[in-house]
Amino acid sequence: MNNETANVLQNGVVRTISREDMANLPIGCYEGEVCLVKTPRDLDLARDDLLQESVVGFDTETRPAFRKGEAYAPCLAQIATARMVYLFQLSRTESYDLLIDVLAASGIAKTGVGLANDLRTLRQVFPFAEENVVDLGVAARRNGLGQTGVRNLAGILLGIRIPKGAKTTNWSVPQLSAAQIAYAATDAWVCRELYLRFRSLGLLSA
């Protein structure tokens, strides 16, 4: 068996993707509607959509730390449904009840990559109990994929390159920039898209 053959799973999915191959992929980003939840009406819209959804992409953003020993709690939680991505600035405490309800809902699969850390740090903001959390990084390792980060998985399974862009910007600012909103929405959206791809390939039951 040559190296190229060894890098392919039985269903034809490659285990890893090179930097060169990744660089040649088309850029992928979320192009749908985004709701930055600020008003009671926004919150009602989010509740109506989220609580009737069966799969949501979930992610958080945290102000970057550049000094040793420096750490911050998450500033933003983003959740993608089939129709929209909702961005919740965690300085707005009125969104906590809805986030708690979504995280606790057994009928809603919350999917993402590295969710154990996201949820651990989110508990610094408010307490909650989670149900039906699907970490795609764990599923990727279980199925023999050699790369399990969200951007590598997007390259391997979706054939797109997700730019890092605004990752290290200050997420605690009151007014998010257009670049930050696009970045955050894309991260939640791609997690949901990856879940659907995993499911279609039978990679969630292994």
Q: Is the overall model pTM greater than 0.85, yes or no? A: yes
76 burial (CB, 10 Å; 0-12 / 13-18 / 19+) is buried
pLDDT at 1 > cutoff 50: no
Token pair belonging to 199: 């499911």
The whole-number pLDDT of residue 168 equals 67
4: confidence class by pLDDT, cuts 50, 70, 90: low
CA separation, residue 121 to residues 4, 19, 116, 126, 155 (Å): 39, 30, 9, 10, 27
The size of the chain, in residues, is 206
CB 161, CB 27: distance < 8 Å: yes
Return the pLDDT at 72: 83
Q: Which two tokens mark 92?
A: 């707005």
Using CA atoms, how far apart are residues 197 and 100, in angstroms rounded to an integer?
A: 27
Work out the angle between the directed axes of helices 96-104 and 40-50 (0-180°, nearest 10): 0
pLDDT tens by residue, 144-183: 898 889 999 999 999 999 987 766 688 989 999 999 999 9
Tell me what pLDDT residue 10 has.
56
pLDDT for 177? 94
What are the pLDDT digits (tens) for 22-75? 999 999 999 999 999 999 999 999 999 999 999 999 999 998 766 786 778 899
- According to CATH, the superfamily of the domain at 3-199 is Ribonuclease H-like superfamily/Ribonuclease H (3.30.420.10)
Give the pLDDT of residue 11: 63
Q: What residue segments make up the domains of the chain, in order of their start?
A: 3-199
What backbone torsions phi and psi does residue 205 show, to the nearest 5 degrees?
Answer: -105, -5
Q: Is the pLDDT of residue 3 over 60?
A: no
pLDDT at residue 112 in the model: 97
Tens digit of pLDDT for each residue in 95-150?
Answer: 999 999 999 999 999 999 999 999 999 999 999 999 999 999 999 999 989 888 99
